[in-house]
Amino acid sequence: MTGNSLAGWVPKALTALLLCMATLLLTSGVAEAGGKAKLVVASGKVKAKKGNLKGSFAIRNVGGAKSAKTTAKLKVKTPGKDPVAGRYAVRPLAPGGTAKAKVKVPIPSGLPSGKSPIVLCVQKDCAKLGKVKGSGGGGGGGGGSSVPNNPINYPTDEPFELTSSASKYWVVVPSSYDGSHQTPTTLFVWSHGCGGDSGGDIFNISPGGNAQSWISVSVGGRDGDCWDPNGDQDKVMKAISNMKTHFNINPRTVVLGGYSSGGDLSYRTAFEHSNQIAGVLAENTSPFRDTGLTQDQAISAASSKFHVVHLAHLQDDAYPIATVRSETDALSAAGFPVERIERTGTHFDNPGDVVAGTPVPGTDADVVTFLLPHLNDGWTSPG
């Protein structure tokens, strides 16, 4: 009887123990899944080369919940201030997920003599990725200080209007901008399409807050009309010059953008001022056809090869896809770094319009999704 009772008791005890362990494991899993996200710099290496900071890094979520979209900052640690060399959008990461990015940004101007640490920070975690040597003379990577000589009061994350000698234009300064004006910042200059409005388009190119690491400008002077690429370049270039008097604009990270007629103007301006333009973000336009220059003239006018991301809608009857393919291929063959993105859509679509049997997100939404992220690619011009 005793032997039989013990034999019956052992399986019951083991069963209870296993059930207890299973409960603990399940409880642990629930606690982890319901925990907080925690982003850390997992790895990275950055060094100075030919006026730029170059390298790469990886960010990992070591927490127990999915992270929100955030921004990582690449800084140079110096006494009194830590100038931000670059900002990188970090997509939401699942637990254990990793995001990687390449670094190519100008060395901040005005670094002190000696070697300063290059540090990447995300949320509360920072890691040293390398060192950069300063001269103490303010040369940096952008040809001298870009601190503005006429700073102004401004709101953050909301549009306001400024006037240059050539035109009025709308501006959005993100909350991420260094209000002390000590950190050089990317400038994105956008031109609307025919019949468009600069005050309306500023909202399309400015998500604001942590989602925006650049200052946006929507050029005015042709509201309700089309641009004249032969005569309106002055409006673009004077807007850029005027912005540099009010904000710390990195002269090597100015990017132009435009839709339709605005794309024509942006391409023409970039070809003829290529040493001052890091890249072009274009939608539903073409590089040569309506710029006032032939293909050979445009390519010959450019003294340097700026970056291009060209978004084209397949059903666009104003700029047929065959022409867009031919012209962007020619641009690429001439040595320009070109990325062409083709999407379902007509020349202009509202959200939910059905094109080729498919609902589309809309022309404005495509700018936000496919073009604006490239403002964090670290493009630079000769300056």
40 φ/ψ angles, rounded to the nearest 5 degrees: -135, 155
Mean pLDDT of the 161-180 span: 89
Residues 97 and 204 in one domain: no
Q: Is residue 153 part of a domain?
A: no
pLDDT digits (tens, 9 = 90+) for 273-326: 999 999 999 999 999 999 999 999 999 999 999 999 999 999 999 999 999 999
| The two structure tokens encoding residue 269 | 């301006």
| The pLDDT value given to residue 23 | 41
Burial zone of 296 (CB within 10 Å; 0-12 exposed, 13-18 middle, 19+ buried): exposed
Residue 74 belongs to domain spanning: 39-134
Residues 285 and 344 in one domain: yes
Q: For residue 223, what is the DSSP state?
A: T
Residues 68 and 188 in one domain: no
Residues 89 and 209 in one domain: no
Q: Is residue 105 part of a domain?
A: yes
Count how many domains the chain has.
2
- Answer whether residue 6 shows pLDDT above 60: no
Residues 101 and 192 in one domain: no
Q: Is residue 6 part of a domain?
A: no
**Bridge partner list, 74:** 86, 120
Model's pTM, two decimal places?
0.67
Positive or negative, the CA dihedral 313, 316, 322, 326 is negative
Residues 211 and 88 in one domain: no
Positive or negative, the CA dihedral 76, 82, 88, 90 is positive
Residues 348 and 253 in one domain: yes
Residues 97 and 187 in one domain: no
- Answer whether residue 269 shows pLDDT above 60: yes
- Domain limit, last residue, from 134, 169, 190: 134
The CATH number for 325's domain is: 3.40.50.1820
Nearest to 321 by CA among 345, 348, 338, 298: 345
Residues 262 and 365 in one domain: yes
The CATH number for 106's domain is: 2.60.40.10
Q: For residue 150, what is the DSSP state?
A: S
Q: For residue 107, what is the DSSP state?
A: P
| The pLDDT value given to residue 1 | 33
Residues 118 and 181 in one domain: no
Residues 125 and 190 in one domain: no
